[in-house]
Chains A and B, each alone.
Chain A
Amino acid sequence: MESLLRILELQVLIPWILSLFFGIFVGAIPGLTATMAVALIVPVSYYMTPLAGLAMIIGVSYTSIFAGDIPATFLRIPGTPASGAAILDGYELGKKGEGSTALSLNLFCSVLGGIIGVLVLVSVSSRLANFALRFTHFEYFWLGLFGISMSAVISKGSKLKGLYSVLAGLMVSTIGMDITTGYPRFSFGVMGLFRGINFIPAMIGLFGLSEVFKNITDPKKLENPGIKEKISVTFKNIFATIWRFKKTVLSSSFIGVLVGALPGAGADMAAWVSYGVAKGRSKEKEKFGRGSYEGVIAPTSANNAAIGGTWIPALVFGVPGDSITAIVLGAMMMYGLTPGPLVFERNPGLITNIFQIALITQFLVIFAGLAGIKAYAAMLKLKKSLVMAGVVIFSLVGAFALNNSVFDMGIVLVFGIIGYAFEKLDIPLPPMILALILGPMIENSLRVGLLQSRGSLMPFISRPISLCLMLLIAVTFFGGFARGTLSKIFARESKKFGGK
């Protein structure tokens, strides 16, 4: 009860609720992503207590992923990549004049998926954390490697491009003082580079500024779309429909959690995979793509459930499940918290609070969602050019505010250009982010492990958990396991229906 009161204090509650609306705003505007929303909120959260900061991040991630379904339903443009699958049947229902029904299904199934995701997170993470306490440097080396190799393999595009992205991230992670000797590496005498590349400005650049560049280089993207249908939420038959498709809600949510827990997969892949599975198992397959309720329920339940899934490896092992949790890990380090199994022992109160916040957020999403849907028509009237200008200045000032450093603003610009170039060259960004955050862990584990074993590689392959992880990496990379299952469904479903 005491811990519950702690999150209901005004200094936590007010920023938490405001962040929900911020998430709705960013998520509902096509071209702005959920990752961008989280990256932009981090500099603000830095000036708050860790609890308030984490509440803001959790709030933004859930509402922005839901809000992405609004333009997907009415404009056939996914607000965030996680809503890519929602355009299929949501938009078709919208064309039939059932847009409000689709949106209501989106809202309530997002909440249900989110609740299931959080419940799995709560029930699994503590046990996994106990198991993770057995891990040593040898296991952490393979775990980090598993995280980045998985993200490279299952990201969109070729494996080689994923590998290039990973290597770019690892290369950037080596800039700055060496972990063991303290010798500056690749700093070229630049003072700002001595302490390494600050992770948060890099993320703001990669996900905030690069999105702006993407929008301003294509003037068509700056045009404001219009909506003919009146946007509202209906409760008529909604709960009966959800009850009718309760198995789809449950299975999609569990698929969402599972896919989300894989490093690099994220909510967008969870949505496509669950859509494919729901279609395969449905008795009304022919209705999919033509305005099926199941086709709306499956991806929307999965993408919000995936958020809970992405938090599992992030909290337990310190390995982010997607780019949003990569930012969360960066933010946690900024607050002085080290993610991993020890956080469950050292900060049990904070972990409980995170679970409580995530669960309560699901109920708050209903109110924020209803308000957001009502305000959506007004949101669309706001010129996108003005939003882009706001994102640019907020990115720059936010990065400056972290360390009162103009150098960090430069990092935003450089990484904004890198992010834009990567997008143009079809290089996936999430592997780079994961490598950036896991690079120091991998390097440290490898070097300390080699030091402990006096240069022998045997402990890296002879310990049971290490061996399992090593085999898992081999299967992931060379067996085509992940690509053959997840990416195939992802690519097939998205291409079939004209998604990206």
Chain B
Amino acid sequence: MVSQHLISVIDDDEPFREAMSSLMRSLGFEVEAFSSAEAFLGSSHMGTTSCLIADVHMPNMTGIDLHQQLVASGRAIPVILITAYPDDNVRARALAAGVICYLNKTFDDAALLGFVRSALAQADQAIKV
């Protein structure tokens, strides 16, 4: 599968960042990795990112904070949240706020791929609109 879509992975945990980057590359995507939400927001890749895979628990700005900020600033980048410690309340809030999904870090990769595809479809649609 060859795609021109850029997927940005944001996680303060380096081993997970590496693993997720590798998985996304194996699926044929271009990947950029960032160790914090701030690093992503300050990078030149923000404008070209089609899908964000972000950790929920990060110091200073969490994945949820990041999503809210993107929504508030009108940049509708689809966000997939992942967490090492799933919490039902957080999940409900995040989904209500409009994230694509809220996944445990031990996820099913077929499910992830499905969410990535729908995120990309959403991104493509946003571009068309």
| A-B interaction | no
Measuring CB to CB, which residues of chain B are less than 8 angstroms from any residue of chain A? none
